[in-house]
Amino acid sequence: MMRAMARRSTAKARAPRPAPVAPSPRFQQERARRTYEALLSAAEELFSAAGYDTVGTPDIADKAKVSVGTFYRYFDDKKQIYLHVIKRHSAAALQDIMSGLQPELFIGKARKETIRLAIDVLFDHTAREAGLLRSFIEMAMRDPDVAAIQRQTDDEARQRLAVLLAFVVTRTVCPDPAATAFVIHAASRECAFSVNGLRGAPPMDAEPVKVALAEFVERALFPER
């Protein structure tokens, strides 16, 4: 009992912070804040629909209903606004997925529903944001700044999942929470990406994959069920 409490205290003390996001500038005027947000929204919509390469700063400015000169008062170039969009998007996605994974929800029968709900959120998010995610995957392979955001996002997700596993799974079953978190994160992400067409033509419908994935995770973490 004391060892379990100590382990949980240590895990809690080491809990990682939420995924870093580029802070929004402080604006003295509400109009300036609205313009900044309009540019970000326009950029996200265009990058999602057309990818990075075919979108230009005039396209973003036109979509946001501002001049190109106004765009450059807020961002240095297309790449800078793209990085802002990706950082905000990644942090929001991680928060949505992890918010439902609370330790107290893994007691008894509730854990099955908790695991399935998290998988549903991941798959739904991937389906909804497939265009932007496809751009993110492509850019991460050729731009070191985008690749760094991807690594940071993946590391944050795995760290938070490892902390959760240290709370809810015994060390007999899960002797290395970090390694187990790595496997679960990779399997879940690849399943979501594949059935939503981010790895080519979807190999099968999402629903049976979600059922099988939830069963896989539950059996791996709670073999005594």
180 and 106 co-located in one domain: yes
Whether residue 58 is found in the same domain as residue 106: no
**Domain shared by 133 and 185, yes or no:** yes
Query: Cα dist. 101→12, 126, 153, 176, 221 in Å?
Result: 15, 18, 17, 19, 14
Q: Is residue 195 domain-shared with residue 154, that is, in the same domain?
A: yes
| Domain-embedded: residue 1 | no
Whether residue 210 is contained in a domain is answered as: yes
In a domain, 15, yes or no: no
What is the pLDDT tens value at each position of the chain, 225 positions in all?
333 433 444 444 343 344 444 455 666 678 888 999 999 999 999 999 999 999 999 999 999 999 999 999 999 999 999 999 999 999 989 888 888 787 887 777 788 888 998 999 999 999 999 999 999 999 999 999 999 999 999 999 999 999 999 988 888 999 999 999 999 999 999 999 999 999 988 889 999 999 999 999 999 998 876
Q: What is the rounded distance in angstroms from the CA atom of residue 32 to the CA atom of residue 197?
A: 38
Q: What is the pTM of this model?
A: 0.82
Question: Both tokens of residue 144?
Answer: 């070191």
Judge residue 14's burial from the number of C-beta atoms within 10 Å of its C-beta, 0-12 exposed, 13-18 middle, 19 or more buried: exposed
Residues 66 and 114 in one domain: no
Look at the block and give the residue holding tokens 């606004």: 81
Asked if 22 contacts 177 with a C-beta cutoff of 8 angstroms, the reply is no
Q: Do 93 and 42 fall into the same domain?
A: no
* Domain-embedded: residue 176: yes
Round to whole Å and give the CA distance between 174 and 218: 12
Q: Are residues 117 and 155 in the same domain?
A: yes
CA distance to 54, 93, 158, 168, per residue, from 16 (Å):
37, 16, 10, 17
Both 70 and 115 in a single domain? no
Tokens of 160: 């938070």
Domain ranges, residue 183: 88-225
* Residue 2, domain member (yes or no): no
